[in-house]
C-alpha cells in the first residue's frame, strides 16, 4: 500500500492508496471511528456500483453503515442538499469526534466535507474518492464547497479530512470519459513542476486509461504527493504556491462557463484544453518555446482530451471568453492572476496579464 502523508498544521492525515482498499474499508477506518454505526454519504451511481461491497467490508470489521444516498451530479452541491446532509448527520447523533464517510467523486466529497465543517461546529470526515479526479485532486487538501446561483464553489470552508482511502479499482465502474477528465489533473502536476512525471504520463497515460492497475497507482500516488507538498506549504492559498494547482483553470473555467457547465465539456476536459491554451499563450508572450507547447497539446490529444478550441464548435469570440474570466473568483483587486509556463514543469503565477491580449489570442485560437 502507498501511504502519502499530508502535513497540514494541526491536523496531519494520510492518503492510503491500494487496489482492493474499498473491500477493506471497515478495517481501515476502525481506528478512526468511536461508534459501530458510521454515516456514509454517497450518490446514486456510486451506491449502485459499490454499496453492497462497502456494507460487507464494514460488517467484516463490526461496523454498520448508515446510508444517505443523494442524486448524482453537480447540482447536488447545493444549499438544498447541504441542509439534507446536515440534518441527516444530526439525526445520526454525530459528535465532533465522530467521522462521516464521503464515498464518491468530488461532488460528494465537497458537499459532505462542507457539511462536516459546520455540524457541531466541525465534526470529522473520511474521504473514499471514487473518481480519478477525486483521487488525485479534490479529496486531498481540505477545500470544501457548494455552488450557488451566482457561481461555482462560492460558499465553502477549509476542512481537512481525517483519512483518505483511494482504491484504484473504484475506477473500474467509472465511465471512461470521466476517468479521462480526471487524468487531465494528473498531467497538470507534471506541467506544474515535474517534467519527469510529464514524460511518465506521455509513456503511461494510455495504459492508465486502458485500466492498468499499476499505472493507476503510480499516477494517484505521484499526484497526491505533489498536491500534499503544495497544500502543506500553503494550506489556505495565501502565499500563491497553492494557486499553481489552478494551471489551466482560468481558461478552463471560461470554457465551462461558455458551454453552460454541462456535459458538453467536463471540468477536466476544460482543464486539459486550458493547459494547452496556457502553454500556447505563454509561447505568444515569448516565455516558452513552441515545441514544448505542441508537445503538451500532442499528449492531451493523444489520450482523447480536447487539445484545440475547434473541438468545441463555439460560436462566441475571444472577448466573450475573456469576459468570463473577469467573473472568476480568483480575481484579485482588478488584475487577473494567470498561470503561465516557461517550459514543461515550469509553471509560475503572473499577476499582470492584460485581458485584451488574452482576448486577441483566443480569437486566433478560435480560427486555428
Ligand atoms: N475540493 C477540491 O479541492 C476540488 C478540486 C477539484 C474539483 N473539485 C470539485 O469536484 C467536483 C467534480 O468531481 P468529479 O469529477 O469527481 O465529479 P462527480 O462527483 O460528479 O462524479 C462524476 C460522475 O461519476 C459518477 N461516479 C463517481 N464515482 C463512480 C464510480 N466509481 N463508478 C461509477 N460512477 C461513478 C458520479 O455519480 C457522477 O455521475 C466539482 O464539483 C469540482 O468543483 C473540488
Ligand atoms: Zn480542477
Q: What's the pLDDT tens digit per position in 293-319?
A: 999 999 999 999 999 999 898 999 999
Residue 41 phi/psi, 5-degree rounding, is: -115, 135
Please write down the long-range contacts of 288-293, taking CB distance under 8 Å and 24 or more positions apart: 288/340, 288/341, 288/342, 288/343, 288/346, 289/343, 292/341, 292/343, 292/344, 293/341
Residue 124 phi/psi, 5-degree rounding, is: -85, 160
Per-residue confidence band for 329, with pLDDT thresholds at 50, 70 and 90: low
Q: Are the C-beta atoms of residues 359 and 322 closer than 8 Å to each other? A: yes
Distance 249 CA to ligand 2 centre (A): 7
Whole-number Cα distances in Å, 262 to 134, 220, 303, 307: 19, 26, 21, 18
C-alpha cell at 367: 480560427
Ligand 1 atom, smallest distance to 185 CA: 6
What is the pLDDT at residue 351? 85
Residues 6+ positions from 37 with CB-CB distance below 8 Å? 63, 64, 66, 92
Whole-number Cα distances in Å, 96 to 123, 159, 273: 4, 13, 42
What is the pLDDT at residue 13? 98
* pTM greater than 0.85: yes
pLDDT in tens, 242-298: 999 999 999 999 999 999 988 999 999 999 999 999 999 999 999 999 999 999 999
C-alpha cell at 124: 470529522
Instruction: Spell out which residues line ligand 1, taking CB within 6 angstroms.
Output: 43, 45-46, 49, 72-74, 77, 104-108, 110, 130-131, 133-134, 137-138, 141, 143, 152-153, 170, 173-174, 178, 267
Residue 84 phi/psi, 5-degree rounding, is: -65, -45
- pLDDT tops 60 at residue 333: no
Amino acid at each position: 500500500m502507498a501511504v502519502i502523508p499530508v502535513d497540514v498544521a494541526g491536523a496531519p492525515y494520510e492518503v492510503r492508496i491500494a487496489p482492493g482498499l474499498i473491500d477493506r474499508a471497515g478495517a481501515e477506518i476502525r481506528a478512526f471511528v468511536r461508534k459501530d454505526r458510521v454515516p456514509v454519504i454517497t450518490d446514486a451511481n456510486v451506491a449502485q456500483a459499490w454499496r453492497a461491497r462497502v456494507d460487507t467490508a464494514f460488517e467484516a470489521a463490526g461496523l454498520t453503515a448508515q446510508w444517505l444516498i443523494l442524486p448524482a451530479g453537480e447540482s447536488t452541491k447545493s444549499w438544498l442538499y447541504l441542509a439534507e446532509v446536515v440534518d441527516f448527520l444530526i439525526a445520526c447523533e454525530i459528535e465532533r469526534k465522530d467521522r462521516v464517510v464521503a464515498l464518491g467523486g468530488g461532488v460528494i466529497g465537497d458537499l459532505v466535507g462542507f457539511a462536516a465543517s459546520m455540524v457541531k461546529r466541525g465534526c470529522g470526515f473520511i474521504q473514499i474518492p471514487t473518481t480519478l479526479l477525486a483521487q488525485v485532486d479534490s479529496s486531498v487538501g481540505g477545500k470544501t464547497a457548494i455552488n450557488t446561483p451566482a457561481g461555482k464553489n462560492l460558499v465553502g470552508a477549509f476542512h481537512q479530512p481525517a483519512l483518505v482511502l483511494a482504491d484504484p479499482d473504484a475506477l473500474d465502474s467509472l465511465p471512461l470519459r470521466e476517468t479521462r477528465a480526471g487524468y487531465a489533473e494528473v498531467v497538470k502536476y507534471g506541467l506544474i513542476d515535474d517534467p519527469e512525471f510529464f514524460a511518465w504520463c506521455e509513456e503511461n497515460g494510455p495504459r492508465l486509461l486502458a485500466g492498468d492497475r499499476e499505472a493507476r497507482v503510480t499516477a494517484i500516488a505521484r499526484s497526491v504527493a505533489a498536491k500534499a507538498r503544495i497544500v502543506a506549504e500553503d494550506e489556505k492559498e495565501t502565499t500563491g504556491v497553492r494557486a499553481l494547482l489552478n494551471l489551466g483553470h482560468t481558461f478552463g473555467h471560461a470554457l465551462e462557463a461558455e458551454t453552460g457547465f454541462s456535459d458538453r465539456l467536463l471540468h477536466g476536459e476544460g482543464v486539459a484544453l486550458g493547459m494547452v491554451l496556457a502553454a500556447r499563450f505563454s509561447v505568444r508572450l515569448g516565455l516558452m518555446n513552441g515545441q514544448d507547447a505542441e508537445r503538451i497539446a500532442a499528449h492531451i490529444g493523444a489520450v482523447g482530451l480536447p487539445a484545440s478550441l475547434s473541438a468545441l464548435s463555439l460560436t462566441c469570440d475571444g472577448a466573450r471568453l475573456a469576459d468570463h474570466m473577469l467573473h472568476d473568483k480568483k480575481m484579485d483587486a482588478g488584475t487577473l492572476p494567470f498561470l503561465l509556463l516557461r517550459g514543461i514543469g515550469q509553471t509560475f503565477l503572473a499577476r499582470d496579464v492584460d485581458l485584451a491580449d488574452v482576448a486577441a489570442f483566443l480569437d486566433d485560437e478560435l480560427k486555428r
